[in-house]
Amino acid sequence: MIVSWNWLKDYLKLEMSEAELTEKLTMAGLNFEGAETIGEDRAIDLEVTSNRPDWLGHIGVAREIGVLYDLESSYGKAEVAQSGPAIDAQLEVVIEAEDFCPRYIARVIRGVKVGPSPAWLADRLTTMGISVINNVVDITNYVLMESAQPLHAFDLAKLSGDKITIRSAKKGEKFDALDHKVYDLLESDYVIADANGPVALAGVMGGASSEVTESTTDLLIEAADFAALPVRTTSRRLKLRSDSSYRFERGVDPEMIDWASRRCCELILEIAGGQVDEGSIYAGNKPEPRESVTLRYSLLKRILGIDVPEEQVHRILEQLGNAKDSHDGASITVIPPTWRRDLTREIDLVEEVARVYGYDKIPADKAVKMAASHKSDEDRVRDKTRMTMIAAGFNEAVTRSVVSQAWANAFQGWSTAEPLQTSVPMLRGEDRLRLSLMPSLLGARRSNEKVGNQEIELYEIAKVYLPKTGTLPDEQYVVSISSGKDFYGLKGVIEALVAQLNPNIKVDAAAYENSFFEQGRGCQLSIDGKQLGYLGQVSTQTAKSFDLQSVSTVAEIKFSTLQKIAQLIPKHQEFSSYPTMSLDLNMIAEEATTWADLEKTVTQSGGELLESVEYRETFRNEKKDGAGKKRILFSLVLRSSDRTLTGEEAESARDQIVAACEKEHAAKLLG
C-alpha cells in the first residue's frame, strides 16, 4: 500500500519525522518497505497484512497513527446537497445473489462536465502510482485510496432499462471489459447487469459499454459489498487484477460503503458540477451488530508478563475504535468497530494492547508462566509411522493434492464417484482433487527413474478427497507407499508398521481385483474385519501409462484405522524362555487358492502353540500334480510359554493345521 505524506496530513498533524513514524508503524505491524519523492510529495510503501484491510486506505492508516501518537484524526461527514428528482422513482436495484452481494448503494448525479482533474487530485493519484484518466474516474479512484471502499461510475445514458441487477453470469455469457477485451464468463462469476446484459464484472472491473467519457453528463455511482471468495476466484481465473478486487478479496467495512458513496458525490459536485438526485437506493441488508468481547486485565499480565495501566488499556481500545460496553476493576467489555473483523476473541484484544503499548516495553528476561504442551494422539501415531517407514528405508514424499483427471481416475478403491473439480487448475491440466495418493507417488517414481536413481522407496501421509453428494468432500488421511520390493516384501513393511503400533494386531489380506494392480497380485487389507487399505503390484498397463521402467508395488492404508489400533502407552510382555520348534509344510492346492486364504486358515487352526507362519515359495509341476494345481511351501514356528514342546505336541499341532487346510481348501500335505 502506497500512502502519500501530504494526504495523511489532511486527517491529523504529522509533526514527527518520516523515519520516526515509519519505525513506529513497523513496530505496530505496518511494515515500512521504502519511500521515494514524487513531485512535492513523499510516497511511503507499507506492507499491509491480510487481516487489516482497513489499512488499504489513507483514513485507516491515519487512524492507526492517531492511536500510536495519541492524536485526534478526522475525515469529515461527506454531506451532499440533493436537488434532483427522487431516485427511487426512476431506478430499481435488484439483488438476486444475496450471498454474494449483501448490500448495494446507488446514487445518481446529473449534468456533470467530464474533463481533466485539478492538479491536487492528479498529483495525489500520481504519488499512488495510479493513472490519471478524467475527473470522474479519478474521483472514484481517489475515494478508493482514501476509504479502502471500491466504487464505480456508470454512464447513466448508456444503461438500458430502469433496473440494475446483481446476479450470477449466465451460461455462455460474454463480458466486454474496460480493458476492451472480451471475456467468457462462467455461472460461478457475478455481474452487474442492465436490460441488455452485463455492464460490470462485480468487484473486478467495469464494462466498456457504460464507460465514462468526455460526452458523459449523467452518472450512476455504485458502492457495494461483494463476497471475497467469488471475487478472488473470478479475478484469478480471468487474470484480471484491480485495486477494487484486491480490496474486495480482503473484505470492506460495511459502515464505510455509504460514506464513500456520499464522499464520491461530494467531490464530483465540487469538481465536475451537476446535481444529485434526491435520496439513494440501498438494496440488501443492514450490517449485523458486532458481538462484544471481554478483556480481563489479569490475562494481560499472564500473557505479556507486565502490568499495563488500566487507563492505558481503555485509551488504546477506545482509540482503536472499540466502543466501551462495560467495565469494572477486573475487566473491560467492548464492541469492536466494523472495520476490524479480526477482533473476535479476548486474545485479539491482548495483541492490540501489546502492539500499541509497545513490544519494546516488555523486558526480554520477564518471566511468563508457561505450561508444557503435549502432542495429540494423532501426532504421536504420525511420528511412529514416520519412524517405522524411515527405519524400513523409505523417504517421505510431498505431492500435490490437485492432479489430472487421468491420475484421479487411475485408482478408485476408496470411492467410485467422479472426483471434485477445481475452478482454477494448479497447473495446466491438473484440476481434480485426488481420490488416492498412489498415482502421485508413481509420478514421483517416474521422475526419479528418469534421473537414474536406483533406490526409490517412497511414502506419504496426506489427504484424499472423497466426494459426497451436496456437501463438502470427506477428507481422509491415508498412508501411501511406492516400493521396488515385491508384493510380499511390501506386505511385510505394512505388517511391521502395524506391529509397531500394536504388536497384538494381525493384518488380514483378501484377494482384490483392480486394473491398477497386476491380476492375482492385488489384495484388500483389513484388521478385525475393518478395512485397512489396499496392496498390490502395479499392472503392466498401469506401469506403461505412468512411463515406469521397473516393477513397482504400491499400498495405501487408512490413517484413521492406524489411530484406532495404536497402543501409545508401551506395555511389557514377558518373552518365553523355552525353545521354538520349526516345521516346513509343502501342500498341494487348487490354483485358485490364495496364500492369504491359506495363511488365515493356518493361523486360526494353529492354536496357542503357533507363534508365526511364513510363506516360502509357490511352484507348479503339471506332470506330477496335474493341471490347475500348485504347491505352496511355508514354515511354522511353534513355541510354548511354559514348557519345552515334545515331538508329539508339535506333530499334533501340525496335523491340526493340515486337517483344517484340507477341509477348507482341499489342500493336501506332500511327504
DSSP 191: E
DSSP 177: B
> Positive or negative, the Cα torsion across 641, 642, 644, 649?
negative
| Residue 408: burial class (beta carbons within 10 Å; 0-12, 13-18, 19+) | buried
Q: How far apart are alpha carbons 149 and 144 in whole angstroms?
A: 5
The per-residue pLDDT of the chain, averaged, comes to 92
> The cell 465536475 sits on which residue?
272
Beta pairing class for 458-466 and 395-396:
parallel
Query: Looking at residue 621, what is its pLDDT?
Result: 87
Q: What is the 3-state secondary structure (H, E, C) of 524-555?
A: EEEECCEEEEEEEEECHHHHHHCCCCCCCEEE
Q: Kindly list the distances between the CA atom of residue 349 and the CA atoms of 136, 311, 313, 322, 568, in Å, as whole numbers in the listed order.
A: 40, 15, 10, 10, 39
For residue 12, give the nearest of 72, 61, 55 by alpha carbon.
72
Is there a contact between 479 and 551 (Cβ–Cβ < 8 Å)? no
Q: In the chain, which stretches have pLDDT less than 50?
A: none
3-state secondary structure of 242: coil
Query: Looking at residue 17, what is its pLDDT?
Result: 94
Q: Kindly list the distances between the CA atom of residue 142 and the CA atoms of 120, 221, 518, in Å, as whole numbers in the listed order.
A: 11, 14, 67
Helix, strand, coil in percent for the chain, rounding step 5: 35, 30, 40
Query: Looking at residue 542, what is its pLDDT?
Result: 93
Q: Which residues pair with 154 in a beta bridge?
A: 220
Q: How far apart are alpha carbons 204 and 215 in whole angstroms?
A: 25
> The cell 473486478 sits on which residue?
204
DSSP 88: G
Grid cell, residue 260, equals 464513500
For residue 203, give the nearest of 180, 228, 169 by alpha carbon.
228
Grid cell, residue 459, equals 511414502
Grid cell, residue 646, equals 515334545
Displacement of CA 465 from its chain's centroid (Å):
13
Query: Looking at residue 220, what is its pLDDT?
Result: 96
Grid cell, residue 449, equals 527413474
Q: How far apart are alpha carbons 624 and 669 in whole angstroms?
A: 14
Domains, the chain, ordered by start: 2-69 (3.30.56.10), 82-284 (3.50.40.10), 293-361 (3.30.56.10), 377-565 (3.30.930.10), 581-669 (3.30.70.380)
> The cell 491536487 sits on which residue?
120
| Residue 208: burial class (beta carbons within 10 Å; 0-12, 13-18, 19+) | middle
Query: Looking at residue 400, what is its pLDDT?
Result: 92
Q: Kindly list the distances between the CA atom of residue 291 and the CA atoms of 124, 331, 527, in Å, as whole numbers in the listed order.
A: 38, 16, 49
Query: Looking at residue 367, what is its pLDDT?
Result: 66
pLDDT digits (tens, 9 = 90+) for 329-356: 899 999 999 999 999 999 999 999 999 9
Helices (H) and strands (E) in the chain, counts: 20, 32
Query: Looking at residue 626, what is its pLDDT?
Result: 86
